[in-house]
Chain A
Amino acid sequence: MARINREELEKIKQQNKALITVREGTARVHVIVHMGPCGIAAGARPVLKAFIKEIEARDAGDVMVSVSDCAGLCSQEPVVSVHCGAEQAVVYGKVSEETAKEIFVQHVMGGTVLERYRIEERAEQ
């Protein structure tokens, strides 16, 4: 650690932004990977890891990824839902590591919904 000035103070705050988004729930986008036993069996864990890797690689401190229980769509697992603010969540089915990356780049960062992986619109927590 070295002596800092005001700009560096701001930089430290930005580097630790994820702390705030996770603990205060102030994320711009919230990605939920559904993790019932069915989801895990279908490969939800590598999908989750793929999202974490993307956030880390892009320093996307305003994006949050978390896990949730089975979404009740076991035939479509792994299921991922993307929440942007108050907008209705977009639910993707049969997500693979590669699709996860695509969803992250196109939808989470770019704002474009990937209709071809989409399975259903539903408001959920």
Chain B
Amino acid sequence: MKYYRSHLLVCAGTGCVASKSLAVKKALEEEIVKHQLEDEVLVVGTGCNGFCAAGPVMVVYPEGIFYQRLKPEDMAQLVEEHLLQGRPVERLMFTDPARKKTIPRMHDISFFGLQELRALRNRGIIDAEKIDDYIARNGYFAVARALLEMTSEQIIGQIKESGLRGRGGAGFSTGMKWEFASKARGDIKYALCNGDEGDPGAFMDRSILEADPHVVLEGMTIAAKAIGSHQGYIYVRAEYPLAVSRLRIAISQAREYGLLGQNILGSGFDFDVEIYQGAGAFVCGEETALMTSIEGKRGMPRPRPPFPAYQGLWKKPTILNNVETYANVPPIILNGAKWFNSFGTEGSKGTKVFAVTGAINNIGLVEVPMGTPLRTIIYDIGGGIPNRRKLKAVQLGGPSGGCVPESLIDTPVDFESITKTGAIMGSGGMVVIDETACMVNIAKFFLEFTQDESCGKCTPCRIGTKVMLDILKNICEGKGAEGDVETLEDLSVTIKNSSLCGLGQTAPNPVLTTIRYFRDEYDAHIKDKICPAVSCTDLIKFEVVSDLCKKCGKCAKACPVFAIRWEKGQIAFIDKNICTKCKTCINTCPFRAIA
């Protein structure tokens, strides 16, 4: 047995790679060789650690020391002091911004300490490209149990009892879905995985695929046994090259061990998986459109019924589960349904992964028990709002979801409570919005997205979203008219009721929730021709508000066209003949004194 006394886990997820973690890893390896430690310490590139805002990050075991914002030139000191002399380097550790104290150990940092890792249990702790690492953490033991000891009914019974609901958006009972497909008649059935994560700002599935690809293969194999399928497809977007490459490696390793293919673990059960790369159309995350795309046709939805459990891919009984749903399956089989549903609320069991992004300090990936209040996620785990700004709303569920206002920040995050606010749980996108954002503009942004991604098959979605978008554009440009909000509401109801698929049925949600909670902003745009958040360019006067101006001159220094006149001790003045309305001054002013 080869023994390494210290394991250095460098994050090689997409976020940290973008902040040059691979250069850090290379420098680290060079320093280790220089000190002849290559035989004693092991450097591993892992999947996403979760704390993307602090990247590039590294965790050093056995101490569990968390290092952040690393640079290649830090590695000489780190190797010499920490690895050689056992003295962790304080200046590279995380500092708690509130208490101004360094926190050496990863689990003592509240971003990590308050999380409950289940779907992400292997993140940042194994080498995603080594099947043996996965096996060391009980990987494929759930498949062994499911294939060698359990019947299809027993597997479905366990999953139903656990209360697991789909993590892709709609939240349908996974066990029921499997039961329908299992009872559907047909000799050929398919088990599909939906990795077509398309919500702006969402990266839950990508991180699971990059950090722990085998868990998805294991979950799919168990599902296949439950419904009697022998062929699976993973639909993953081509914009996720690292996820695709790690999945490829995982599939080939699993095949070599006979954990995919014929007679898995000597059980007599056959199952294999292929990757199908999507071209990035948002609508292909919808189940029938995804199946149409795998069939080689243009990805467009079709009416249901027939439901995929009876007539899915190539008209055969099919199940489609999301990446995160599959990641939850192996531990349920190993630890039992009761273990799983010990966390969560009445109707929402287990944990949920969220991609927390936007105006928040600790941007990253978070897994918490269902029912955790939004406040805990935003403030305790997320570290609050930067630049001393105020929280305005949290956008949940991407373009299909809605905005939860600051006043509802104590809402527990579970399927039922979130639906009551008018937003949806969705797949786990959580965009934090501060006071500088205009809610009409936010609604416009999401509608621009869905309007662009509408496949065009049905009229309500194709034309309805276009008409809504035109109205929103007018409102933002100061051309809004009395009655616009009512028209938007009318159109929303029609589009929701009459669209063919989930894309259209949910597209008006961002508009409806912003009207519900921020009607005053719509009215200010339409009646007073003012954008209260000072965000919509056409409604900004570009004038300095004398009462708020602290005469600091920052705006004058920032203006790229020298349109601002300022002298020490004087209130700044914007010359509108020169001003190009670029908004640099507004973004620079610490006192929000330009309106």
Contact = CB atoms under 8 A, between A and B. Distances in A.
Interface footprint category on A: 35 or more
Given A36-B85, A69-B86, A15 B1 contact: yes
Which of A4, A48, A52: most chain B Cβ within 10 A?
A: A4
A64 interface: yes
Interface string A9-40: 10011011111111111010010011111001
Contacts of A6: 144, 148, 265-266
B100 interface: no
A4 B61 contact: no
B6 interface: yes
Interface stretch (A55-63, A91-99, A104-112): A55-63
A23 B265 CA distance: 28
A56 B3 CA distance: 6
A66 interface: yes
A28 B61 CA distance: 16
A68 B63 CA distance: 10
B7 interface: yes
B1 A55 contact: yes
B511 interface: no
Contacts of A68: 86
A20 B473 CA distance: 56
Interface in A41-65: 48-49, 52, 55-56, 59, 61, 64-65
B86 A34 contact: yes
A12 B135 contact: yes
B113 to A, nearest CB: 15
Contacts of A17: 136
Given A9-B135, A23-B62, A18 B3 contact: yes
Contact of A16 (B63, B136, B148, B258): B136
B87 A69 contact: yes
Which of B1, B133, B140, B257: most chain A Cβ within 10 A?
A: B1
Contact of A4 (B85, B138, B265): B265
Interface in B2-23: 2-7, 9
A3 interface: yes
A52 B141 contact: no
B547 to A, nearest CB: 56
B85 A67 contact: yes
Interface footprint category on B: 35 or more
Interface in B72-92: 83-87
Contacts of A40: 84-85
B2 A66 contact: no
A19 B265 CA distance: 24
A5 B265 CA distance: 4
Nearest to A25: B62
Given A22-B62, A25-B62, A64-B62, A56 B257 contact: no
B256 A66 contact: no
A1 interface: yes
Contacts of A25: 61-62, 64
Given A6-B144, A59-B1, A16 B132 contact: yes
8 contacts: A2-B258, A6-B265, A17-B136, A18-B3, A21-B62, A22-B5, A22-B61, A65-B3
Nearest to B2: A56
A96 B85 CA distance: 18
A16 B63 CA distance: 19
Interface string B251-274: 001001111000001100000000
Interface in B133-186: 133, 135-138, 140-141, 144, 148
Contact of B7 (A12, A23, A33, A55): A23
A40 B83 CA distance: 12
A12 B141 contact: no
Q: Which 4 A-B pairs have the closest CB atoms?
A: A3-B258, A16-B136, A67-B86, A68-B86
A70 B468 CA distance: 69
A9 B1 contact: no
